[in-house]
Amino acid sequence: MRLKDKVTLITGGAAGIGKATAELFAKEGAKVVICDVDAERGQAIVDELGGACSFYKVNVANRQEVQVWIDDVVERYSRIDVLINNAGVLRDSRLVKVKDGQLVGSMSEEDFDLVIAVNLKGVFNCTQAVAPLMINQQSGSIINATSIVGLDGNFGQTNYVATKAGVVGMTKVWARELGRYNIRVNAIAPGFILTEMVQQMPERILEGMVQHTPLRRMGQPIDIANGYLYLASDEASYVSGAVLRIDGGIVVGT
């Protein structure tokens, strides 16, 4: 019960890493509040976890929806102890694709804007909405999901890498700005994690991920959830501004 009665918000909590985190935090005694755009899956988690969990349908890229969500949570619980900015999307493509000297493809502006809106602006929206309450209560833990590609870069992921590198930067800024109010801000950088989305990739791609990981396996969602748990708990009371890599030892591109 390392999080007994701590009100914990988890964005993108309906599947994958978010779902594993909701389940683990509920076991550890937290009052879990998840949001996602997938209402069916979100409600399924509430049905599974019962009174330990509640669900809101929220698009984190929409500031008004985020504020309504936060206001309702505050009215219900009067406090927010932990915010996990876990929501994210992928829209991979090369910056430009050239064949025989001719431009044959490129990353669309729509795909660039969508990933920025969810992965970067969404983190900003949720943190800015929660910060005043945490300042007033003089405590809080904010944990942002970045990625190893935000640190090392990756082929075909201009938009995604830009957001995850931006999240690292925001994490360090907020750790400085909010530390005086006893608010800790950290990030986790997952490596290749076997989520539902990743499982749909071709077998040769999955094998390549394993071969590039020194521990010779892909991570499980619970591996990241355990990292979130540590950073949310009092055991990490002197950890702020950190980026914790949970990646099996990989360096992307090697």
Question: For 57-92, what is each residue's pLDDT tens digit?
Answer: 999 999 999 999 999 999 999 999 999 999 999 999
**Residue 156: both structure tokens together:** 């075909």
From 56, 77, 160, 238, the catalytic residue: 160
Query: Is 29 in contact with 1 (CB distance < 8 Å)?
Result: yes
pLDDT band, residue 253 (cuts 50/70/90): low
Is there a catalytic annotation at residue 160? yes
In the predicted structure, residue 183 carries a pLDDT above the cut 70: yes
Domains delineated in the chain = 7-246 (3.40.50.720)
Q: What pTM was estimated for this model as a whole? A: 0.95
pLDDT band, residue 212 (cuts 50/70/90): confident
More confident residue, 198 or 216: 216
List, in sequence order, every residue forming a beta bridge with 8; answer none if it has no partner.
32, 82
Torsion angle defined by CA atoms of residues 28, 129, 241 and 217, in that order, rounded to the nearest 10 degrees: 50
pLDDT digits 0-9 by tens, 147-166:
999 999 888 999 999 999 99
Residue 41 has what pLDDT? 95
pLDDT averaged over the chain? 95
Residue 23 has what pLDDT? 97
- Segment among 68-72, 212-216, 248-252 with least mean pLDDT: 248-252
> Distance (Å, rounded) from C-alpha 39 to C-alpha 56?
8
